């Protein structure tokens, strides 16, 4: 599998950051990606996240999850409740995402794992225009796969 390829879009008016990843997901690559997104002028610590892991092979370890949680706690203390939806399509991704969810230490961050985009978007916010977001998502997903 290739190195991690990542892309994102921030929909500020919807308080939503959509991430699409492909390749090999390791701790360093993901933290580097997160640091880049925080430099975006539209970024807010209090955004909800929709993270597509469907095209990755997870090479991060359980210890890496703990390290990421420490990084996240040190850098992203939000002041209101936010949701993180993890989209998976394989057992490897599901196990990793579930371990990530279960190890969450931030009280105001809810994490859930999904197998469909629609159910993830409904959980984030049932008032979102799903069709519009799915069209945006498809464009990001195609770009990340290149």
Mind listing the pLDDT tens digit for each residue in 26-80?
999 999 999 999 999 999 999 999 999 999 999 998 899 999 988 988 888 777 8
Residue 143 has pLDDT above 60, yes or no: no
Q: Does domain 5-145 have CATH number 3.30.1300.30?
A: no
Domain ranges of the chain: 5-145
Residue 2 has pLDDT above 70, yes or no: no
Q: Which pTM does this prediction carry?
A: 0.88
Q: How far, in Å, CA of 109 to CA of 129, rounded?
A: 23
| 3-class secondary structure per residue, the chain | CCCCEEEEEEEHHHCEEEEEEEEEECHHHHHHHHHHHHCCCCCCCCCEEEEEEEEEEECCCHHHHHHHHHHHHHHCCCCCCEEEEEECCCHHHHHHHHHHHHCCCCCCEEEEEECCHHHHHHHHCCCCCHHHHHHHHHHHHHHHHC
pLDDT at 125: 85
């Amino acid at each position: 599998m290739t190195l991690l390829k990542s892309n994102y879009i921030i929909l500020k008016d919807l308080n939503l950051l959509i991430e699409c990843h492909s390749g090999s997901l390791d701790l360093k690559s993901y933290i580097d990606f997160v640091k880049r997104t925080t430099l975006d002028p539209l970024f807010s610590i209090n955004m909800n996240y929709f993270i597509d892991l469907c095209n990755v092979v997870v090479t991060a370890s359980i210890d890496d999850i703990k390290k990421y949680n420490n990084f996240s706690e040190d850098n992203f203390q939000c002041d209101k409740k936010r949701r993180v939806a993890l989209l998976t399509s394989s057992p490897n991704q599901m196990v990793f995402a579930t371990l990530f969810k279960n190890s969450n230490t931030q009280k105001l961050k809810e994490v859930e794992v999904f197998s469909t985009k629609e159910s993830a978007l409904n959980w984030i916010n049932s008032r979102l225009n799903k069709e519009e977001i799915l069209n945006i998502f498809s464009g990001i997903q195609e770009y990340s796969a290149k």
